[in-house]
Structure 1
């Protein structure tokens, strides 16, 4: 998969102009990348950071699509839950909490200037994150 194909995949259903605004790069430059031009490391990193994408995946196609910051630390989760409820969470409770926190992190980092929350984007992200989980 080429950089242009990975970028197109990252943009998904979002408009090119909307994506360009979100990553703070001109629409013309994003369109240039979509036609096959390669970005500088600085621009690729800017896209990755603003789109919550792994720079490694965006640049090479290897690794995880989304940054590992979205992975919830289970030890910390269990400790917080135990502190609040006096017991460890069941596996089902833990998985639901992890999914909720991951969705929250996505919405928080993708909030638009007008306050719009991209619920569909979150749903897609959660589905992709689930596919990225090691078996």
Structure 2
């Protein structure tokens, strides 16, 4: 598996432009990497950090795709908290914290094709999910 193949795997269904914005590297440079160019260590590390990917896996294909310790995506956490606290009546069985974490986890895995957070989809998920505090 080449660096370009691993980068394609990392991008997944996200658009190249959305991914480029997320990792703060120009779309042209990401497309260059996808065509076979190898990044510098600095650029590879930047991609790994911002995409929550293991640098070892991105550079070599060895190890784990994702880092074991999750880095909190503050935009996703703030968006989930804002959406949940505006909608949750105090007398519901489900605690706001459980909903915030569930909303956050949903946003981490479901981004729009342009790379932005899909708040509307998260709200739909939270409205139909059976979330209970333990």
Q: Aligning the two structures, in what range does the TM-score lie when normalised by the shorter sequence?
A: 0.5 to 0.7
Identify the residue that residue 30 of structure 2 maps to in structure 1.
30
Pair 103,58 (structure 1): closer, same or farther in 2 beyond 3 Å: farther
Tell me whether 1:5 sits opposite 2:5 in the alignment. Answer: yes
* 1:53-83, Cα deviation, whole Å (9 max, x unpaired): 0000000001110011139xxxxxxxxxxxx
Pair 109,15 (structure 1): closer, same or farther in 2 beyond 3 Å: closer
Identify the residue that residue 48 of structure 1 maps to in structure 2.
48
Q: Which runs of 5+ in 1 are unaligned?
A: 72-96, 121-135
Give the deviation of 1:42 after TM superposition: 0.4
Give the Cα separation in 2 of the matches to 1:110 and 1:103. Answer: 10
The alignment covers a number of residue pairs equal to: 92
Structure with the larger helix share: 1
Structure 1 residue runs of 4 or more that deviate by more than 3 Å after TM superposition: 100-112, 117-120
Pair 106,4 (structure 1): closer, same or farther in 2 beyond 3 Å: farther
- Pairing 1:37-76 to 2, within 5 Å after superposition: 37-70=37-70
Greater RCO between the two (CA within 8 Å, min separation 6)?
2
Give the Cα separation in 2 of the matches to 1:56 and 1:4. Answer: 15
Q: Which runs of 5+ in 2 are unaligned?
A: 72-97, 123-134
- Could you state the TM-score of these two structures normalised by the residue count of structure 1? 0.56
Report the aligned-residue RMSD.
3.5
Q: Secondary structure at the match of 1:53?
A: coil
- Pairing 1:38-117 to 2, within 5 Å after superposition: 38-70=38-70, 104=104, 107=107, 116-117=117-118
* 1:6-26, Cα deviation, whole Å (9 max, x unpaired): 000100111111110110000
